[in-house]
A = this chain, B = another copy of it.
């Protein structure tokens, strides 16, 4: 990711947090994670993240999706004799189209960004609504036209071990 892309995305992310009335410390504002998944197409597939806490047992993040932006399909497998990550997404602002493994929903509302998407059981989250994803469950999610702010409550997060359906994805970004 280019430095300018990163800086512009951080600015936009802070605007969404402000819309959702999420207060961040200066340090958090200076450490926004912009994940483009190595695809170089941030506005289509990407995610913006503030990690509040991530210990061996508990993790909590606040995430921004830009309008119609998608967090690509992935799952959290068991690692090091633990069960794998369990996570609850709670929509704070905007609308989230969430897709999980299970019965395919006909005429889904989201727009599949490419062919690396395989699960289509649709859950729609409006502000105040939430959904829990248990370990090893394929899932992806997309914001509606206004973008979205989503809180995540989970067990320990170890992004490096996530398994993405798209083999071209690199979860940990590099800034040029």
Binding site for B on A (CB under 8 A): 20-21, 23-25, 28, 52-53, 55, 57-60, 83, 86-88, 90, 92, 127-130, 132, 151, 153-155
Which residues in B have their C-beta under 8 angstroms from that of A52? 88, 90, 130, 153
Which residues in B have their C-beta under 8 angstroms from that of A57? 83, 86, 155
Query: Shortest beta-carbon distance, A137 to chain B, in Å?
Result: 14
Distance between Cα atoms of A97 and B151 in the complex (Å): 25
Distance between Cα atoms of A153 and B153 in the complex (Å): 7
Distance between Cα atoms of A24 and B129 in the complex (Å): 8
Q: Taking CB as reference atom, which chain B residue is nearest A25?
A: B128
Partner of A128, one of B28, B59, B83, B151: B28
